Amino acid sequence: MCYTTVPTVIMRISLNHHSGDPLYRQVVEAIRLRIAKGEFEAGEQLPSIRDLAAQLQINSRTVVKAYEELDRAGLVVMQQGRGVFVASNRAALPANERRKRLRELAVKLLVEATQVGSNLDEVIEIIHDTANELESKK
């Protein structure tokens, strides 16, 4: 039916219902990527739970779960009665925790690289390129 609220951001998130990945994770990942790309300004309002659920045609509880996860990660702020906003300053993790997480990802990346027959130089090159791409979109 129709929604009479102010038009909000249209989130073009394509969900894969058949991958076996939890939908809320997919939503979290998609929003994280967009925030990382700088598509959202700090303080910008994200669609309401009801709106996003309607846009993506998923259960509003899934959206709640995704927003809660983003809220816990410090990427968005959920304000009771007002809405969901992109967090202004990313709550930085303590250095050792941060290094630990990135190292885990690095291990995964390098294992994958070895398996497909790539080498360290290529991996570093790809990381640089990707970083530039993300930067240019900001």
Partner 1 sequence: MTESNTVMETVDLTRDFGGKVVLEDVSLTVGSGEILALLGPNGVGKSTLMKLISGLLMPSRGEAKLWGESCWPPSVEMYRVACILDGMSPPSGTRVREIMSLKSCVSPRFDWKLATSLCEQHQISTASRWRTLSKGQKRWTLLVAAIASGADLLVLDEPVDGLDVATRLELYGLLREQSNDRGVTSIIASHIIADVERIADDVVILANGRVRLHSPLEQLRDEVFEVELPLETDDSVISPMAEVISSRRASDALIAVIRFRSLHLAEQEFPGEISRRRVSLEDLYLAYTQPQQPQAPAEQQGLANERSL
Shortest CB 121 distance to partner 1, Å: 27
Indicate the DSSP class of residue 20.
S
Beta bridge partners of 83: 79
Q: Choose between 3 and 134: whose C-beta lies nearer to partner 1.
A: 3
Q: Choose between 103 and 137: whose C-beta lies nearer to partner 1.
A: 103
Q: How many residues does the chain have?
A: 138
Among 5, 10, 29, 50, binds partner 1 (CB under 8 A): 50
The interface mask with partner 1, positions 1-40, x = CB under 8 A, is: x---------------xxxxxxxx----------------
Question: 3-class DSSP state for residue 72?
Answer: helix
Q: Please state, as a whole number, how many other Cβ atoms lie within 10 Å of the Cβ of residue 1.
A: 4
Shortest CB 49 distance to partner 1, Å: 9
CB–CB of 57/46 below 8 Å?
no
Match 């045609």 to its residue by tokens. Answer: 57
Shortest CB 137 distance to partner 1, Å: 30
Q: Does 57 bind partner 1 (CB under 8 A)?
A: yes
Query: Taking contact as CB under 8 A, which single stretch among the options 48-56, 67-75, 90-98, 103-111 is the one that binds partner 1?
Result: 48-56
Separation CA 62–CA 24 (nearest Å): 5
Separation CA 14–CA 53 (nearest Å): 13
The interface mask with partner 1, positions 58-87, x = CB under 8 A, is: xxxxx--x----------------------
